[in-house]
Amino acid sequence: MTYVARLLGREYVITVDYIGERIGLEINGRPIEFKHTQGRNRHRCLMLLDSNSYDVEVSRQNGRFLVTAHGREFEVFAEDQRLDTIRKVAGLGYATDQQSDVRAPMPGLVVRVLKQTGERVSKGEGLVIMEAMKMENELKSPRDGEVGEVLVTTRQSVEKGECLVRLK
């Protein structure tokens, strides 16, 4: 099976398949010597990529993968290359570009809504200020775009994962 994986503005075409009992791996068409050992917990595994050792942890979250490797956390978008091709042909853009829901990272209170429906926003611009753990935190836009919908109002309390703003 061939995947397209994207993270941090980089793109990898990764082919994974069983060769007998072993897993064969190619990254961007380059075959890699690969060994994979899964622990009792299926989220945790040891990978040897051309004998480089990576002790990793993977989980799914909102259609993405969270990967922890060497003490760092990465958000990976990975999908079947065929789906990716269909998207491109249909002009739907990449999976990464479609992240449009800005969600509450923790339960808390909306202190201020900084952008209204229809306003243009650029990546990193503040959308909503939330108070949680006695601190005010600014939630920023994940990308350039337009505010499609604001789902919360000032002084409203929200749950973790609740959608606050939808980008168009």
Footprint of another protein (CB under 8 A): 1, 3, 5-8, 10, 12, 14, 16, 23, 25, 27, 36, 38, 41-45, 47, 49, 52, 54-60, 65, 67-74, 76, 78, 105-108, 124, 132-133, 135, 137-138, 140, 160
- Minimal distance in Å, beta carbon 158 to another protein? 12
> What CA dihedral angle connects 167, 12, 61 and 52, to 10 degrees?
-150
Using the minimum distance from each CB to another protein, give the nearer residue, 72 or 91.
Answer: 72
Interatomic CA distance for residues 150 and 143, integer angstroms: 16
- Minimal distance in Å, beta carbon 36 to another protein? 6
Using the minimum distance from each CB to another protein, give the nearer residue, 8 or 19.
Answer: 8
The encoded tokens of residue 28 equal 């961007």
**Do the beta carbons of residue 66 and residue 74 sit within 8 Å?**
yes
Using the minimum distance from each CB to another protein, give the nearer residue, 19 or 133.
Answer: 133
Interatomic CA distance for residues 124 and 87, integer angstroms: 26
Using the minimum distance from each CB to another protein, give the nearer residue, 44 or 143.
Answer: 44
- Minimal distance in Å, beta carbon 8 to another protein? 6
Helix (H) or strand (E) holding 85: helix 81-89
What is the maximum span of the chain, computed from C-alpha positions, in angstroms? 59
- Minimal distance in Å, beta carbon 57 to another protein? 4
Using the minimum distance from each CB to another protein, give the nearer residue, 76 or 163.
Answer: 76
CA-nearest of 150, 149, 143, 148 to 112 is 150
- Minimal distance in Å, beta carbon 118 to another protein? 25
Beta strands in 97-159 (DSSP E): 101-103, 108-113, 120-121, 126-132, 135-140, 145-150, 157-158
